[in-house]
Structure 1
């Protein structure tokens, strides 16, 4: 059998050791603290903080004691940095303070960001882990329970601001797993949200502790009052009328495997107006001090150059069989090595791996240390064609040293362009015929205050041209050293799937109407000019998606279906059931969040089959379709690879849940309670103990009805608290419903 990882929940199946907030009796830190210089400080921070580092530390200590019940004492190591965060909304100068304690079995980190001008704690974060505990990753708290904790913390830490915010409720909180519940409170004025002013709070879904807090708030903002505000309907029409579409292609991915299965012709939306003033409906534009450089450098190949470059490809020897052997791929790698000019490097290792349904050889090359630092390169080669799909060479140090040496002249962007297209024509002669060779130069050199950082590489991205459009998802990207002229990296992304022709398409108007059907107008305040001393918030309208879980990105140009970013229909997204008010709301919702139980098309009181229960257990343990080698085939006489349950049954055999026997598998057999006990105890790995059935005794009054060979499983399940009876009875032969299975598995995973 092939050895695989059992998945991220494999550690969840023993009893939970609850982690309590740490409170120490030791003395508060009183030793001298040295202010460490951050990178920003070394570059030069010109403002003087009004809050001293000693005061900032005292503020952090008091915050930890009052709000998270942690006394930061001498057991913690501490670092403090004065940093300049220009993107901050309230101030540009902050202390970042980090506390940490750890040993062989436990670690804890707490960090703060404190405004160096006002002393306000603008963010706090904590993380801890006990390596000796069987720490669970499935929530003990429901969303509503965590919300109560978050609301209470908000009122305690910001009693004034709490009166002027609204919680952005997440209607899809039952649709995805999370180890924390995140709550964002947005500032409101006249019932209009000011989205860029907020308070964020994270609640640990297991312990209920506050793990994260941050605030972004403008004290001196002036809200512009509008007397003749346009309506939502008027705003929607203005924004909708500005929508146009362009033909393009998207890759359609399998939602389960994420592998690309098809190329779809689509209409992609473009908006001429993304935001309009609530007064009058004119387009809103932010005031900015950014300077746009209008001097573009554009180049392209002449038709003569394109013809000439078609004849410079290299011959790559093909494999003797379907795929290259290790020896054969070494020979191919040597050809690429010489082409890249790294002749002094030697192949250090090769290995074959699978990626997106393709086999690739990965090749590592190493050279001796040189004046430009350690020499290392790597490349990926298609196992069937020998095509180079990835190349990387650590040339950054070399380029920077050459730029400082004064001995090498920097090549021009146009010269580097010629090197790039020649290399692509050599490596990819067929793809070269399809690429868009036109390129625009952007200077990526930048300045921090008076310190300049030169761009020592030229980067080119040659997109694929298909049926008259530039398809950006397929490209060949290449990076050329500006001083050495060496190729520093190559990324080859090129689909082998068929591109449909733009024929029999729906109209552009039909596409726009279908797309906009998922949007509604949204009124909010935005800051007109963040850099102005006169901070004004202006009411504006934008379009927002009604259902944020299924985000529309394009429209199928042939069918009119609205598609998400993965090319799948947003109307066919998985249906998530809302269990609000149900006695088992928390258990049912959380099992749905993690994708363990799919309630679509079933009733909670429907009986669950053994096959469906097996699928759930395998998903919990870590589903993979590659549990065993091909020669370890499934022995069940009526199960084929085409059956939906095939891979899960293979997984069940791998995890020891069922025996691989040459018998018929009963797909329709309904699960009963004693069988549920057996499978769950097997999942915990206690089946050897459970088989000693004669040493166990269950306390249920109907224990005599339990099958003798399953008595050990029921007794262990009862002892661990994962199986509960009713009126003192276990009812071992009673069928298990979806609701009962969900609650039992939740109790198992959460340690309840």
Structure 2
């Protein structure tokens, strides 16, 4: 079944209402605790929110969802906390999904969406043009949200190939304030190209917001200069897919870009800012060339075994590897399977842990070993019993954790030390929770493959270190020695690539709402005027450039 783009938006929207994304993983547990505390303060009960949601869906769409499957959770939305309800029903004939977010203090609707799919229309030919579908979408908005029609702007961000006969048309409308977009507030419409019905509708809106006046802002020319000064152009190898077959076509050498210290400009203050973690300058760490050479000297050739490991041999070797890595004896295996991947060697995959008297696994994890060499491929513990927001004295600094990660690679994959980018960006080792400084427990390192001095992130070695115990918690090796890479001869230079990016992307004045407090348990939201580095053609955004031809690559084609 070929479902519409709207379903992805629907699901992503539902996830957004329950997420905050700090720069490090340990904050996740503090966020869960924070939600629980905020839920206790809510004036609208869970039961009342359900009642409001069912009535709103009935009034808006004429559908009673009381007998639908349902799910209710609590989380943040913009400057508020909301009850987030989803109702769905599936059968052989159709799919129906509804989502609604309700302010936990006022009971007001913050977001509402629906998605419907009729399987009987699946193989029918489209009969509706894009222009006709757009008319249908606009009439629907006028019916459902007539008071919002004058406050929204159509954003043409989908490049439809009419010859491909699209199954659905997707239309996005963004809220504007004095002509400036605020893309956190929107109305999205999905129109069925076969029968002309609105099958997808998504609405997100915040009332009573204070928007800063559009005065005393830097000019677009000044913003463009700041972006030009702060953009960093990089060479990368990427996997290029054939979107029709959804299969890997080949590897390609491209230029892409990023902004080291932020991807937005504060339009009032004229400085680069980011969504969350901000530093004046990135700090990095690397090892010396002599250290790499020392590691490489100790590398031994890895040869294949005389025969593929059988199940009994795999169990024995897996337990040996667990003992070696974690210094834990007699681990039970709760799952074991031989996996054959066409692109890589066969591997044995297992889950491990200690079984209690009820048969439940504790201190569990997973491990993968190469069935043809017996070498470790990946290993990691699940840490299910970790205490959230625990204050402890770290046994390792960030630098010491970094060297621990390098030591682990030197032990298990020493021959690859010359083929990975060992430089890493340093991140904070604490976060704030309820006014307290909480140490980050796990430090994550990702070492991408280097070919011709160019990064290839689809192949990498990653390591996580537990600074509380001072030990490595996880190791993953993902590598394909069969893949072929383009050469780096006859490519355009970085300045030429930079010109293309600056031509294809321009500063766009927008409103955004961000949390300005480092303590995620006490968020302080502020609406700002910012310049975003935005594609000139939203339907053909340019994030990568062919390094040999200088041609902009469009991810949508």
Distance 1:78 1:450, change over 3 A: farther
Deviations 1:447-482, CA, capped at 9 Å, x for gaps = 554688764333233344555566655431112344
- 2: CA distance between counterparts of 1:249 and 1:286? 25
Equivalence for 2:25: none
Match for 2:55 among 62, 66, 76?
62
Distance 1:522 1:178, change over 3 A: farther
Equivalence for 1:641: none
Equivalence for 1:421: 406
The alpha carbon displacement at 1:165 in A equals 1.6
The reply on whether 1:548 has 2:534 as its aligned counterpart is no
The 5-angstrom pairing of residues 583-662 of structure 1 reads none
Match for 1:320 among 297, 303, 306?
306
Distance 1:98 1:450, change over 3 A: farther
Deviations 1:63-92, CA, capped at 9 Å, x for gaps = 22321112355x4677766x451x51xx41
Contact 1:110 1:126 in 2 (8 A): yes
The alpha carbon displacement at 1:425 in A equals 1.2
- 2: CA distance between counterparts of 1:127 and 1:171? 19
Contact 1:263 1:498 in 2 (8 A): no
Equivalence for 1:92: 80
Which 5+ residue runs of structure 1 have no aligned equivalent?
1-7, 11-37, 566-572, 575-752
Deviations 1:126-176, CA, capped at 9 Å, x for gaps = 46789xx86747786735554344323321232222122222234513478
Which 5+ residue runs of structure 2 have no aligned equivalent?
4-31, 518-523
Contact 2:284 2:426 in 1 (8 A): yes
- 2: CA distance between counterparts of 1:297 and 1:226? 35
- 1: CA distance between counterparts of 2:438 and 2:216? 49
Distance 1:84 1:47, change over 3 A: farther
Deviations 1:172-198, CA, capped at 9 Å, x for gaps = 134789776443212235555443432
Equivalence for 1:216: 205
Contact 1:319 1:328 in 2 (8 A): no
Describe the SS at the equivalent of 2:355.
coil
Equivalence for 2:352: 366
- 2: CA distance between counterparts of 1:363 and 1:478? 19
Contact 1:268 1:555 in 2 (8 A): no
The reply on whether 1:561 has 2:545 as its aligned counterpart is no
Equivalence for 1:157: 144
- Asked which structure has the greater CA Rg, the reply is 1
Contact 1:362 1:378 in 2 (8 A): no
**How many residues are matched?**
510
The reply on whether 1:490 has 2:475 as its aligned counterpart is yes
Contact 1:460 1:477 in 2 (8 A): yes
The 5-angstrom pairing of residues 413-492 of structure 1 reads 413=397, 416-439=401-424, 441-443=426-428, 446-449=431-434, 455-465=440-450, 467=452, 472-484=457-469, 487-492=472-477
Deviations 1:211-260, CA, capped at 9 Å, x for gaps = 44322245444463569996x8x579747854766452313434245437
Contact 1:399 1:482 in 2 (8 A): no
The alpha carbon displacement at 1:554 in A equals 2.9
**Mean alpha-carbon deviation: is it higher for 59-68 or for 538-547?**
538-547
Equivalence for 1:392: 380
Describe the SS at the equivalent of 1:187.
strand
Q: What TM-score do you get using the length of structure 2 for normalisation?
A: 0.70
- 2: CA distance between counterparts of 1:551 and 1:474? 24
Deviations 1:317-364, CA, capped at 9 Å, x for gaps = 62336x666677666545534432354135653313125x22331321
The alpha carbon displacement at 1:274 in A equals 6.0
Distance 1:520 1:508, change over 3 A: closer
Contact 1:64 1:70 in 2 (8 A): yes
CA RMSD of superposed structures (Å): 5.0
- 1: CA distance between counterparts of 2:255 and 2:281? 32
- 1: CA distance between counterparts of 2:120 and 2:85? 30
- 1: CA distance between counterparts of 2:469 and 2:173? 53
Equivalence for 2:101: 113
Equivalence for 1:261: 250
Contact 2:141 2:149 in 1 (8 A): yes
Distance 1:216 1:331, change over 3 A: same
- 2: CA distance between counterparts of 1:309 and 1:157? 66
Contact 1:317 1:332 in 2 (8 A): no
Describe the SS at the equivalent of 2:340.
strand
Match for 1:183 among 158, 162, 171?
171
Distance 1:486 1:136, change over 3 A: farther
Match for 2:324 among 328, 332, 339?
339
- 1: CA distance between counterparts of 2:296 and 2:274? 49
Distance 1:240 1:205, change over 3 A: same
Higher relative strand content:
2
Describe the SS at the equivalent of 2:111.
strand
The 5-angstrom pairing of residues 470-549 of structure 1 reads 472-484=457-469, 487-496=472-481, 497=483, 502-517=488-503, 519=504, 521=506, 523-527=508-512, 538=529, 540=531, 542-546=533-537, 548-549=539-540
- 1: CA distance between counterparts of 2:539 and 2:356? 53
Equivalence for 2:336: 349
The reply on whether 1:411 has 2:395 as its aligned counterpart is yes
Match for 1:198 among 183, 186, 190?
186
Contact 2:218 2:270 in 1 (8 A): no
